[in-house]
Amino acid sequence: MTTRETILNRLRSELRRPDLPFPLGNTPPLTSDERMTVTAASGTLWELAERFGAELTALHGTYEIVGTPTEARLALINRLLTWREEERAAYRGPKPQTGQEDQVLGWADEALPVPGIADALADLGIEVIAPAALYSSEERDAVRFIRYGVTGVQAAFAGTGSMLMVAGPKTSRAASLLPLRHIALIPFSRLYPAIEDWLAAERNAGTLTSVLRANANVTLITGPSKSADIEMNLTLGVHGPKFVHAILFEDDVER
């Protein structure tokens, strides 16, 4: 008898047990403590930011927490320059030239939670490309080899280190999916203990339906892209960015 047949026979035997009701009867709903055992998070916004960072680190991402949008802009510039120097130092032999080495794939400047990103990077010779659409092969080829992405978030969840992205004309989903390296700017006003808290806030504000229906795509990102084979050998960057760096910062918007 094969292993597969053994497993199926064992399942059949268990399902025939008279003391095993199926389908299950009316079961009491989980309490809030039971439901939130894994993803619960609490504390001040700084404590939530630190919890988010700890969860992201456990998922092979990196983070930093700063005090103001100005500091967040400087942190972003420093991270991009550090990554660029790391990549240049890692090259062996002729360096490929695609014309996209000094470009960043990002959201439109007005859609980012930190002002002046495009101008600040332009002063350093780095151009921000914010495509409204990538329908044609020419549009896709124009961003195919960009290695850095910069975005904001719709919301971030401290309990799991997850980020919610919504795609639109000014918030291209390609910026968080296509480049090898992704930087996410997360203001404290968009940081929540868990996704349930964000859902409740959107329902109370009457905006949940518009967020979910009026956008082309809604994506939940938890760390860098990961995949593993049957032996659990982990590979990063298979279906998306290999490096994800979050910059969390205080802003003046009250939630």
Instruction: Measure the CA dihedral 92/93/94/96, to 10°.
Output: -30
pLDDT at 37: 61
Q: Is the dihedral of CA 168, 166, 99, 135 positive or negative?
A: negative
pLDDT at 131: 93
Who contacts 124 (Cβ-Cβ below 8 Å, separation ≥6)?
77, 81
Task: Look up the CATH number of the domain holding residue 201.
Answer: 3.40.50.10420
Whether residue 19 lies inside any domain: the answer is: no
What pTM does this model have?
0.83
- 200 phi and psi, to 5 degrees? -65, -40
pLDDT at 27: 75
Whether residue 184 lies inside any domain: the answer is: yes
Whether residue 170 lies inside any domain: the answer is: yes
Contact 197, 189 (CB under 8 A): no
Who contacts 217 (Cβ-Cβ below 8 Å, separation ≥6)?
165, 166, 167, 173
Alpha-carbon distance of 51 to 47, in angstroms, equals: 6
pLDDT < 70 regions, the chain = 21-25, 33-38, 253-255
Whether residue 207 lies inside any domain: the answer is: yes
Whether residue 146 lies inside any domain: the answer is: yes
Alpha-carbon distance of 94 to 116, in angstroms, equals: 35
**Which structural domain, as residue segments, surrounds residue 173?**
43-90+98-228+243-249
pLDDT at 254: 66
pLDDT at 255: 62
Q: Give the number of other Cβ atoms within 10 Å of residue 104's Cβ.
A: 24
Give how many domains the chain has, as a whole number. Answer: 1
Whether residue 165 lies inside any domain: the answer is: yes
pLDDT at 224: 92
Who contacts 168 (Cβ-Cβ below 8 Å, separation ≥6)?
215, 216
**227-237 pLDDT, tens per residue?**
877 777 878 88
Whether residue 212 lies inside any domain: the answer is: yes
Whether residue 31 lies inside any domain: the answer is: no
Contact 70, 180 (CB under 8 A): no
